[in-house]
């Protein structure tokens, strides 16, 4: 944590460093700080989808706040990030969390990505389609 804080202190305009600090707070289950640093990263680079996606997942996992998560997805969609796999995955997770499976099931087949993947995740679209078919 100290190293990530120092990195942000040394380079406060680096959205990547701020996002790393948000992730670290999330792993420590500190939703308020994770949320705050996601907001800072979004302000620094509003066209970068990762902070939006991560904020959605923090809202869902740490706060159980699907309304806030949906608002974040909608704000990313307004700036033309809707087709990005990070945002599409986040939108699917909000639908699954809310139980709005029909919307997810109808949208997923037309999306351009086959799997959401990152350092921490590999989620094939087929798996999300199966979840939404319940």
Q: How far apart are the first and last CA of the chain?
A: 40
Q: With 0-12 CB in 10 A as exposed, 13-18 as middle and 19+ as buried, what is 91?
A: buried
**Which helix (DSSP H) or strand (DSSP E) does residue 22 occupy?**
helix 15-27
Domain ranges for the chain: 2-132
Cα dihedral angle (122, 125, 129, 130), rounded to 10 degrees? -40
Q: What is the pLDDT of residues 51-76, one digit of tens each?
A: 999 999 999 988 889 999 999 999 99
Q: What is the pLDDT of residues 33-50, one digit of tens each?
A: 999 999 999 999 999 999
Q: Could you tell me the fold of the domain covering 2-132?
A: 1.25.40
Lowest pLDDT segment from 30-34, 81-85, 87-91: 81-85
């Amino acid at each position: 944590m100290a190293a990530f804080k120092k990195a942000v202190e040394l380079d406060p305009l680096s959205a990547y460093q701020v996002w790393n600090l948000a992730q670290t707070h999330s792993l420590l289950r500190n939703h308020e700080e994770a949320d705050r640093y996601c907001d800072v990263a979004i302000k620094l680079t509003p066209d970068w989808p990762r902070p939006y996606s991560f904020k959605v997942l923090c809202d869902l996992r740490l706060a159980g706040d699907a309304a806030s998560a949906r608002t974040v997805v909608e704000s990313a969609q307004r700036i033309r990030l809707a087709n990005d796999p990070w945002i599409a995955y986040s939108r699917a997770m909000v639908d699954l969390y809310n139980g709005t499976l029909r919307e997810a099931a109808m949208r997923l087949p037309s999306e351009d990505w086959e799997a959401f993947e990152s350092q921490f995740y590999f989620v094939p679209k087929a798996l999300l389609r199966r979840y939404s078919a319940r």
